[in-house]
Structure 1
Amino acid sequence: MGKSWLISNIYAYARRLIRPLLLLMIGLFFAYRAWDLNERFHLVVATIFVSLAVVTFVDHIRNTGEKNLRSRLGTRWHGVALNLGIILAFLDLVFAQIEWAQMGRVLVQAQYEVLLPAFVVVVLSLFLRAWRWQWLLRVVGEIPFAFVFRASCIGIGANMVLPARAGEFLRAYVLGRRTGHSKMAIFATLVMERILDGLSILFILVIVMLFGVRSEEIHILGAVGGAFYLIALGGLVLFYHRQAWMMQQVQRILSKEWAGRMVPLLSAFGEGLHTLRSARQLLIVGAQSLLIWLVISGSFYPVMLAFDFGAPVPLFTPFLLTALVALGLTVPGTPGGLGIMQYMAVLSLQLSFAAAAITPAHGFAEQAAAFSVLMHISQALPEIGFGAWAFIAEGMRWREVSQREGEAVM
């Protein structure tokens, strides 16, 4: 009982600190930008977010743990403020110093007909992702592709409009609701999917670096991403092979009430990891993951052709962009990666041109910023469109989703 009380209190205290600290970091970032660029706008934003950090910390200290309306509203606005801060920080890095009139002219002159092949490739990637997921789901049961595809589209579309990659939980909920299979077992296959995605991205990043792409940002992202995915994979393997021992530890550490809740969930989660016992299936889904990310990379190239960067874009640029965006989104954050995708798009172009020893033409910053906007649209429109179609086809209602928030895999 003592250990359970200690763990729950440490967890609660950490949760109370993390959002105020992140808001404070955002405020300090804008304070630095105000000093560096001498812009009043940045100073105002810095003041707002430092104030929000203080208010959020006070709210958490005063929170008694009661699930009343006031506490729920407080938690929600803390999350909204944090997401808004992350979006503003990354967008500021892209758009703070560009000529807006010039960027407007670039967008007017862009060749929008290239969006059609980009849309087609994005849709192809949706089918491939559902195909890969159906393979992973074999350990749960034989599930028709139509069910898997619709659930996958709903989750991917939701990730474009909801923060913290909430669409992953929604995918498990939708498919469990449709088939009657354990939502936790289904969610375990999604965890496996994310790890395979991460390892595929790291492989692509290594190949791109062989072309001479070097930067501190890539080294940091590669190191952090590599450590994260390897630790996660090791954790899953350990959990799968030592599941009984871990169940005993849960029952020993947690209270009887909490252990009674957690043990069935962990048992179901373990069922979704049976892919780990088959080297053949791991190789198949690993190859599928690599194919998916190569196709996603191909969806970026047509959009690059819509703009005049003053020189041909190096052929490895879409693959670098894919790796940077995927690693940037490793930590759940803003809806659809807004801000992060724009920053990574511009960074990938800068690094590619530098690696190819190409001097950017005048107006490169505006071309790159405009590309980042159109690239995001080319991904978001088909994903949200197919997600909305699947949402309606499944007979779902938004009220049902909001009521199940936080309970999607239970």
Structure 2
Amino acid sequence: MKRWQFWVGIFISAVFLYLTLRGMHLNEFWQTLKTAKYLWLLPGVAVYFIGVWVRAWRWHYMLRPLKKISTRSMFPIVAIGYMGNNIYPARAGELLRAAVLKQREGVPISASLATVIVERIFDGVVMLAFVFLNLPELARLTQNSGVVGNLNIRDVAIIGAVVFIGALAVFLLAAMFPRVTERIVNWCADHLVPIRIREKVRGFALRFLTGLESLRSPADALMIFFTTVIIWLLETGKYWFVMHAFPFEVSFFALMLMNGIVNLTTTLPSAPGYVGTFDAPGIALLVAYSIPQAIAAGYTLVLHAALWFPITLLGAYYYVRQPLRWGKQMETLRSEA
């Protein structure tokens, strides 16, 4: 990763941390943490891991045209990917799980990366659906959070919808019309790519297209979308359980809105673990619901930790059991690219 990209992420996280801590009374914040009922984290973590298992099933479903791999085999690889996303910048865990899948199952990295990108597009569409579904709820808020306003969220949601739905449409068309897409790829490679890397680019692009085969059937695409909705509803369930550890209550729809906003914000470059980009919008939204800032901050911090630590530790455990042969896999990645 280029050094400037890393420091841009650090700077963005620092800005969001400033917005998080601005005006906070630390004594009230610590008191909130000391009095929280942490047993509520247990069912929250359990529900979250069910969601991770569904993610593994979704990835298994998308990879079926390439190779049939059981969900049980996919779950450790998905956990390793989460670990990578949580400790490396720029969501490097996505590349990590593609490399681990190559090592363990022999699936080409370029093809598995295509399925990963499709996953992220479906995730983005569902997150935007959560936001749009709850825009009337947001409009009823009477207190300005100071960080996210109604108009800003609506504008960001519209822009995001254009980006994610547009990308999804491109991938669906590429999957439904493979011969036309292959001709386009070959034309672009022949006319736009320098000769010295033309065949490498062509090969990578064609292998990438094989990862889109799960989208050729409308029924399969709908199944992937339905599964994605289940995944994010389960994650919102974790938000709901953790809420019960703190002295406040908002509706499940409000937590869906929070889930959508914070996960869309974490697509921004940031320090590893989405420091700041997760916390600031979450706290801001709860403050907009008239939740005291100290309680909102305590809840968001504990929620962030509960989302980060269990899956990171599990991913590290699975990785240590069969670590990646980095030299061999990086050479494979370079050859595919």
TM-score scaled to structure 1, two decimals? 0.74
SS at match of 1:323: helix
1:260 is aligned to: 199
* Aligned-partner residue type, residue 236 of structure 1: F
Q: Deviations over 1:182-213 (max 9, x none)?
A: 11111111111111111112222222224354
1:56 is aligned to: none
- 1:122 counterpart = 2:35: no
* Aligned-partner residue type, residue 156 of structure 2: L
SS at match of 1:337: coil
Query: How big is the shift at 1:141?
Result: 1.2
Among candidates 304, 309, 318, match of residue 243 of structure 2? 304
SS at match of 1:142: coil
Query: How big is the shift at 1:402?
Result: 9.9
1:318 is aligned to: 255
Question: How is 1:186-225 mapped onto 2 (pairs within 5 angstroms)?
Answer: 186-213=112-139, 215-225=150-160
Change (3 A) 1:250 1:275: same
Question: How is 1:224-243 mapped onto 2 (pairs within 5 angstroms)?
Answer: 224-240=159-175, 241=177, 242-243=181-182
Identity of aligned residues (%): 27
Query: How big is the shift at 1:221?
Result: 2.4
- 1:383 counterpart = 2:318: no
Cα contact 2:110–2:208 (8 A) shared by 1: yes
Cα contact 2:8–2:269 (8 A) shared by 1: no
Residues in 2 aligned to 1:321 and 1:401: alpha-carbon distance in whole angstroms: 41
2:230 is aligned to: 291
Cα contact 1:225–1:330 (8 A) shared by 2: no
Query: How big is the shift at 1:146?
Result: 3.0
Query: How big is the shift at 1:81?
Result: 2.2
Residues in 1 aligned to 2:311 and 2:327: alpha-carbon distance in whole angstroms: 21
2:213 is aligned to: 274
Among candidates 146, 149, 171, match of residue 75 of structure 2? 149
Mean Cα displacement is larger for which, 380-389 or 331-340? 331-340
Aligned residues: 324
Residues in 2 aligned to 1:299 and 1:167: alpha-carbon distance in whole angstroms: 22
- 1:368 counterpart = 2:296: yes
* Aligned-partner residue type, residue 312 of structure 2: I
Residues in 1 aligned to 2:279 and 2:40: alpha-carbon distance in whole angstroms: 19
1:356 is aligned to: none
Residues in 2 aligned to 1:128 and 1:305: alpha-carbon distance in whole angstroms: 25
Mean Cα displacement is larger for which, 313-322 or 269-278? 313-322
SS at match of 2:267: coil
Mean Cα displacement is larger for which, 109-118 or 242-251? 242-251
Among candidates 168, 173, 188, match of residue 249 of structure 1? 188
User: What is the RMSD computed on CA atoms of the aligned residues?
Assistant: 2.2
Query: How big is the shift at 1:306?
Result: 1.6
Change (3 A) 1:129 1:409: farther
Cα contact 2:76–2:315 (8 A) shared by 1: yes
* Aligned-partner residue type, residue 338 of structure 1: V
Change (3 A) 1:279 1:402: closer
Query: How big is the shift at 1:366?
Result: 1.0
Residues in 2 aligned to 1:297 and 1:402: alpha-carbon distance in whole angstroms: 36
Cα contact 2:115–2:212 (8 A) shared by 1: yes
Cα contact 1:172–1:408 (8 A) shared by 2: no
Cα contact 1:184–1:269 (8 A) shared by 2: yes
* Aligned-partner residue type, residue 94 of structure 1: T
Query: How big is the shift at 1:302?
Result: 1.6
Cα contact 2:16–2:276 (8 A) shared by 1: yes
SS at match of 1:97: coil
Query: How big is the shift at 1:378?
Result: 0.7
1:17 is aligned to: none
Larger gyration radius, structure 1 or structure 2: 1
Gaps of 5+ in 2: 141-149
2:32 is aligned to: 106
Query: How big is the shift at 1:99?
Result: 1.1
SS at match of 1:115: helix
* Aligned-partner residue type, residue 212 of structure 2: L
SS at match of 2:273: helix
Among candidates 396, 399, 406, match of residue 324 of structure 2? 396
1:96 is aligned to: 22
Residues in 2 aligned to 1:404 and 1:110: alpha-carbon distance in whole angstroms: 49
Change (3 A) 1:85 1:223: same
Query: How big is the shift at 1:326?
Result: 1.8
Residues in 1 aligned to 2:43 and 2:29: alpha-carbon distance in whole angstroms: 24
